[in-house]
């Protein structure tokens, strides 16, 4: 039961946020887009607040729920840097990440987002299969 409860609540919260944000602010939630808006646009306050909230909420781990899987041992810096560069450049070139394309895009049945999600899932699955 617990194995279903946590992902279900987590997904509902993510979907609820996307819905509230859409119906009030009129926009989709895409973390990669919000981050680059914070970094490279002139309107920084709102993206800053969103990211601050995200980090606070996302780090409230042990306070709310018991984790079922341990965090990985700290991995090599080179791996993390290559990963970050690919995620940063790739999400901007492709116009979205797991939130923008994966959740918000599929919710509105955007053909671009459905294709993007299929491709990044496939690439990620293959990468894990090769790397592990």
Partner 1 sequence: MNAIITLLAGLIFGLGLAFSEMTNPAVVIGFLDIFGDWNPSLIIVMASAIAVGMLGYFIKSKQLRPFIASKWQVPTLRQIDSQLIIGSVFFGIGWGLSGYCPGPGLTALVNNFHEGIYFVGALIIGSGAHFLQTKMSQK
Which structure tokens are listed for 20? 């509230």
Minimum Å distance from CB 42 to partner 1? Answer: 13
Q: Are 120 and 32 in contact (CB under 8 A)?
A: no
What separation in angstroms does the CA of 26 have from each of 16, 20, 48, 50, 60? Answer: 14, 9, 18, 15, 28
Q: Are 117 and 101 in contact (CB under 8 A)?
A: yes
Residue with smaller CB distance to partner 1, 42 or 128: 128
Q: Which of residues 8-27 bind partner 1 (CB under 8 A)?
A: 8-27
SS3 122: helix
Minimum Å distance from CB 1 to partner 1? Answer: 13
Number of residues counted as binding partner 1 (CB under 8 A): 104
Between helix 31-40 and helix 77-94 the angle, nearest 10°, is: 90
Minimum Å distance from CB 35 to partner 1? Answer: 6
Q: Which of residues 39-98 bind partner 1 (CB under 8 A)?
A: 39-40, 45-46, 49-61, 64-65, 67-72, 74-75, 77, 79-95, 97-98
Query: Tell me, what DSSP letter sits at residue 109?
Result: T
Q: Does 1 bind partner 1 (CB under 8 A)?
A: no
Minimum Å distance from CB 45 to partner 1? Answer: 7
């Amino acid at each position: 039961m617990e194995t279903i409860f946590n992902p279900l609540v987590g997904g509902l919260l993510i979907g609820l946020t996307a819905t509230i944000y859409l119906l009030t602010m009129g926009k989709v939630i895409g973390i990669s887009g919000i981050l680059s808006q914070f970094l490279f646009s002139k309107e920084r306050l709102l993206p800053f607040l969103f990211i601050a909230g995200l980090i606070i909420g996302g780090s409230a781990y042990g306070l709310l729920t018991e984790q079922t899987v341990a965090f990985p041992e700290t991995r090599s810096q080179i791996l993390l840097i290559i990963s970050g560069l690919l995620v940063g450049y790739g999400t901007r070139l492709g116009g979205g990440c797991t939130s923008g394309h994966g959740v918000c895009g599929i919710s509105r049945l955007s053909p671009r987002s459905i294709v993007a999600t299929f491709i990044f899932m496939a690439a990620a699955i293959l990468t894990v299969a090769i790397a592990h």
